[in-house]
Amino acid sequence: MDLCDVKPNKARHKSAKRKGRGIAAGQGKTCGRGESGQKHRFSIKPGFEGGQTPLYRRLPKLRGQSNKAHNIGIFRKEYQVVNVADLERFAEGSAVSPQVLLDSGLISKIGDGVKILGDGELSCKLEVRAHAFSKSAREKIEAAGGSAEVID
């Protein structure tokens, strides 16, 4: 088979319906709009609700840059999360910091900070330094004999 033998698929290129070209064409007169009614006579704009106040006018207007107005979270902190079970890979007595977590590949970036969550179990003693800890994570680290230190 050569490149010159390749032809386009005729089934894919279906020609558009030619509306309003007479009764015999199948899409004449009303052109598929039905017999009568508002949508038959002229096009109505998107969002029109038949004279009822449309949704975009019923909703209250919240202006400005705030969490309440746009829910964009301009004051929200985006923590990189690490579970207690993931800390098992580190050696007994080692110090675990955000940079160590980044180098080991547990997180992809430090961002606004690192938060340690309490999913899983921890058996080795570690000195963990992070920007935030969940209550259960702190308890599990200290129960294993380690320490959980909050950094800024």
- Given a cut of 90, whether residue 72 has pLDDT beyond it is no
Domain containing residue 129: 80-150
pTM value > 0.75: no
**Does residue 51 belong to any structural domain of this protein?**
no
**Does residue 11 belong to any structural domain of this protein?**
no
Tokens of 126: 């570690």
Q: How confident is the model at residue 68 (pLDDT cuts 50, 70, 90)?
A: low
**Does residue 129 belong to any structural domain of this protein?**
yes
CATH number at residue 99: 3.100.10.10
For the chain, what is the domain count?
1
**Strand ranges (E), the chain:** 80-83, 95-96, 114-117, 127-130, 132-133, 147-150
**Does residue 105 belong to any structural domain of this protein?**
yes
- Given a cut of 80, whether residue 45 has pLDDT beyond it is yes
Distance CA 54, CA 52 (A): 6
**Does residue 131 belong to any structural domain of this protein?**
yes
**Does residue 140 belong to any structural domain of this protein?**
yes
